[in-house]
């Protein structure tokens, strides 16, 4: 494949789409255009954790230090607590080699940092995809305002309600989990001077609350997870009711420190939690998916954006090996085969974590739940944080080369 002429359209200018654009440009040498439906980049102010496995990808792409400077590295491991604030278990926060630690990122800062690594003309705003189809020479994309174009390949990074996915693949749509999240940020200067600069989770019956520092410790991200029979379309911009959030965690059954934290919140947003069973295919011809488009997962393992980063660099390594139109389709198939098992494991782990935090389903025995949480720290460190997407891609490429020769 000629790296100078391969034109790739990435649909979606979020964290996954922008990471993919950087990886495909720098590793595969592709000519990339990112199409984003919003008229400006960014996100409603909230936080995301860039975990060690995601940082390993960003390090390989040469952007990690820039992102760490904008984020907040905790003072140490996070904690899982019961509703009254008693310690249940410590959480993993770094990889086994202690080379990478969790970084709390204000989402707009992360989006802007990634976008800053791309040439301005790479990103096309105000482009809402309406249709795409394979042609004899590539893939045609059409947008709401009538603009269209043809590319050698298309990558769908357009999230949980992916138009790319629904246009070409008869795949299951995400389903509502029965939970909503109240989410936002709090000015850290409002908190007591001794407030811990770590991730904290309070776990109660059927609901939980978490917070962690962002933006050079100037902000705290918070999320309150509660059951609801009012399913909301997945959104970062639906206004929520602060009084309703406070009522969910009111009373003497909840830690006074948590109630104080919530009492300082002035604005919150709703987020309906959706996911789906692991998909059996992400690619068709010269169209593929990554991130939430391919493997929507609940946020309880903190791996959504990190898995999109792993997807991005894996896709770039496979596309670098492609030769001609058939090579692109084959590269997408191989990328999908390599990534599907890992993301399926983490989709299921995210569901299980939510059940643990809310002390329900199979975790009605709280002592067992607490023991599982303590044991889960080693799983998180060895299976999740220590994973090297670059090494995994290179190993898979070697295996595929041997198969091709044989």
Fold of 175-275: D-Amino Acid Oxidase; Chain A, domain 2 (3.30.9)
Give the pLDDT of residue 235.
52
Output the average pLDDT for the chain: 90
Largest CA distance in the chain: 68
More confident residue, 228 or 291: 291
pLDDT tens-digit series, residues 386-395? 999 999 999 9
Mean pLDDT of 109-130: 96
Q: What average pLDDT score do residues 294-313 get? A: 94
Crossing angle of helices 304-320 and 389-405, rounded to 10°: 30
Count Cα neighbours of 103 within 13 Å in the Cβ-side half-sphere: 26
Q: Which residues pair with 180 in a beta bridge?
A: 226, 272
At 191-206, the pLDDT tens digits run: 999 999 999 999 998 8
User: Which of helix, strand or coil describes residue 271?
Assistant: strand
Instruction: Work out the burial of residue 266: count CB atoms within 10 Å of its CB; fewer than 13 is exposed, 13-18 middle, 19 or more buried.
Output: exposed
**Kind and range of the H or E run holding 292:** helix 292-295
- The DSSP annotation for 70-96 comes to HSB--SS--EEEETT--EEEE---B-T
pLDDT 10s digits, 148-183: 999 999 999 999 889 999 887 766 677 888 888 999
Q: What residues have CB less than 8 Å from 139, skipping those under 6 apart? A: 9, 132, 133, 150, 151, 152, 153, 154, 285, 286, 287
218 touches 186 (CB < 8 A): no
What's residue 378's pLDDT?
A: 83
Q: For 163, what's the count of Cα atoms within 13 Å in the CB-facing half-sphere?
A: 19
* Annotated domain spans of the chain: 7-174+276-405, 175-275
Residue ranges of E strands in 12-86: 31-35, 47-50, 79-82
**For the segment 344-363, what is each residue's pLDDT rounded down to a tens digit?**
999 988 888 887 777 654 44
Active-site residues, by number, are: 212
pLDDT tier at 399, thresholds 50, 70, 90: confident
pTM reported for the whole predicted model: 0.93
CATH class of domain segment(s) 7-174+276-405: alpha beta
The predicted pLDDT at position 102 comes to 97
Q: Is the dihedral of CA 327, 132, 284, 119 positive or negative?
A: positive
Contact 297, 4 (CB under 8 A): no
């Amino acid at each position: 494949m000629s790296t100078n002429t391969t034109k790739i359209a990435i649909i979606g200018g979020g964290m996954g789409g922008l990471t993919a654009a950087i990886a495909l440009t720098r590793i595969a040498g592709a000519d990339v255009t990112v199409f984003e439906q919003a008229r400006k980049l960014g996100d409603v102010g909230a936080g995301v954790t860039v975990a060690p496995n995601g940082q390993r990808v960003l390090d390989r792409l040469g952007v990690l230090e820039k992102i760490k400077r904008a984020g907040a590295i905790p003072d140490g491991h996070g904690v899982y607590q019961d509703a009254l604030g008693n310690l249940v278990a410590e959480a993993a926060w770094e990889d086994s080699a202690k080379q990478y630690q969790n970084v709390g990122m204000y989402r707009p800062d992360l989006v802007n940092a990634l976008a800053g690594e791309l040439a301005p003309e790479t990103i096309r705003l105000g482009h809402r995809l309406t249709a795409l189809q394979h042609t004899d020479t590539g893939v045609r994309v059409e947008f709401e305002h009538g603009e269209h174009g043809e590319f050698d390949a298309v990558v769908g990074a357009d999230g949980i309600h992916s138009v790319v996915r629904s246009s070409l693949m008869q795949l299951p749509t995400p389903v509502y989990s029965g939970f909503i999240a109240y989410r936002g940020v709090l000015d850290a200067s409002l908190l007591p001077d001794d407030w811990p600069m770590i991730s904290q989770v309070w776990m109660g019956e059927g609901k939980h609350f978490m917070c962690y520092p962002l933006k050079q410790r100037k902000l705290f991200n918070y999320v309150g997870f509660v059951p609801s029979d009012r399913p909301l379309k997945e959104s970062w911009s639906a206004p929520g009711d602060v009084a309703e959030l406070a009522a969910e965690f009111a009373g003497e059954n909840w830690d006074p420190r948590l109630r104080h934290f919530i009492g300082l919140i002035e604005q919150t947003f709703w987020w309906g939690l959706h996911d789906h069973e692991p998909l059996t295919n992400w690619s068709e011809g010269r169209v593929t998916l990554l991130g939430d488009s391919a493997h929507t997962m609940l946020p309880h393992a903190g791996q959504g954006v990190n898995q999109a980063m792993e997807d991005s660099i894996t896709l770039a390594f496979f596309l670098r090996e492609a030769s001609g139109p058939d090579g692109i389709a084959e590269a997408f198939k191989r990328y999908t085969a390599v990534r599907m098992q890992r993301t399926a494991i983490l989709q299921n782990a995210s569901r299980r974590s939510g059940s643990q935090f809310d002390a329900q389903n199979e975790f009605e025995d709280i002592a067992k739940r607490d023991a599982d949480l303590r044991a889960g720290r080693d799983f998180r460190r060895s299976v999740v944080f220590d994973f090297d997407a670059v090494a995994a891609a290179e190993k898979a490429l070697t295996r595929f080369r041997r198969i091709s020769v044989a």
